């Protein structure tokens, strides 16, 4: 059973599909941990030919989304540290640094997907 239905913003964001047609891929390589290709996106969607970079420097705005997602991670981590009563600052810093390194590629791509979805609406082909 598919919980996220095609045609919703959430589908496009989570699956990292074209926000216009929900068919084309946003990134050339589906592996976010291939760091040499982390930001490689096709110029246009292979299905509907939507130009992904709407204007020059369009994805600079995704930095604000990335910042917000990182703040959510920081707050969640601080709450976890508080609940588990971990008082070792160095240990907390090392754990959090490790978490950030692991989730960075995901946050980077997710923020681009969210940013693009804020400006492009889904158009179903009937």
Complete DSSP assignment for 91-115:
HHHHHHHHHHHHHHHHHHHHHHHHH
Determine, yes or no, domain membership for 102: yes
How many residues are recorded in the chain?
Answer: 126
Determine, yes or no, domain membership for 4: no
Domain with 84, as residue range(s), is: 9-119
Rounded to whole angstroms, how far apart are CA atoms 45 and 25?
7
Determine, yes or no, domain membership for 3: no
Structural domains in the chain (count): 1
| Tokens standing for residue 59 | 């994805």
What pTM value is reported for the model? 0.89
pLDDT at 1: 56
Determine, yes or no, domain membership for 1: no
Mean pLDDT by 10 residues, the chain (126 residues): 84 96 95 95 95 94 96 94 89 91 96 97 80
């Amino acid at each position: 059973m598919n919980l996220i239905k095609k045609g919703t913003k959430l589908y496009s964001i989570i699956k990292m599909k074209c926000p216009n047609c929900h068919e084309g891929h946003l990134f050339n390589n589906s592996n976010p941990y291939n760091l040499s290709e982390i930001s490689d996106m096709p110029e246009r969607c292979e299905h509907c030919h939507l130009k992904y970079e709407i204007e020059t420097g369009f994805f600079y705005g995704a930095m604000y989304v990335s910042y917000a997602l990182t703040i959510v991670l920081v707050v969640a981590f601080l709450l976890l540290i508080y609940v588990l009563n971990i008082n070792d600052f160095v240990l907390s810093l090392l754990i959090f640094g490790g978490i950030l390194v692991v989730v960075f590629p995901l946050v980077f791509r997710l923020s681009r997907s969210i940013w693009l979805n804020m400006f492009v609406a889904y158009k179903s082909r009937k």
